[in-house]
């Protein structure tokens, strides 16, 4: 079986540490539940991601070199 998370077109997905998460939430003045959601069974998620974690996704971008987005893991 193919590991989709290792495909060259799938952007980097990393689980945020709680300390880093607090900084991000404060910067945007939002709560964790205000973030867009990503399902736990999404093939691109790291194996260690659990429901309630926040994932940092870094994509290549034509205009800003890299685009960083955050997603809350849900069931």
The model's confidence at residue 1, banded by pLDDT at 50, 70 and 90, is: low
Structural domains in the chain, CATH included, are 12-73 (3.90.940.20)
- Per-residue pLDDT, averaged over 55-71, amounts to 92
Q: Which residue has the tokens 């880093």?
A: 20
The pTM score is 0.85
- Per-residue pLDDT, averaged over 2-6, amounts to 73
Buried/exposed 2-18: b ≥16 CB within 10 Å, e otherwise: eeeeeeeeeeebebbee
Per-residue pLDDT tens over the stretch 15-60: 999 999 999 999 999 999 999 999 999 888 988 999 999 999 999 9
Residue 9 predicted with pLDDT over 80 = no
Angle made by CA atoms 16, 4, 40, in degrees to the nearest 5: 45
């Amino acid at each position: 079986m193919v590991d989709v998370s290792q495909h060259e077109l799938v952007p980097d997905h990393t689980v945020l540490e709680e300390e880093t998460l607090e900084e991000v939430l404060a910067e945007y003045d939002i709560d964790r539940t205000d973030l867009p959601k990503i399902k736990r069974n999404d093939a691109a998620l790291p194996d260690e991601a659990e429901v309630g974690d926040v994932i940092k996704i870094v994509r290549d971008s034509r205009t800003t070199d890299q685009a960083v987005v955050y997603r809350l893991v849900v069931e």
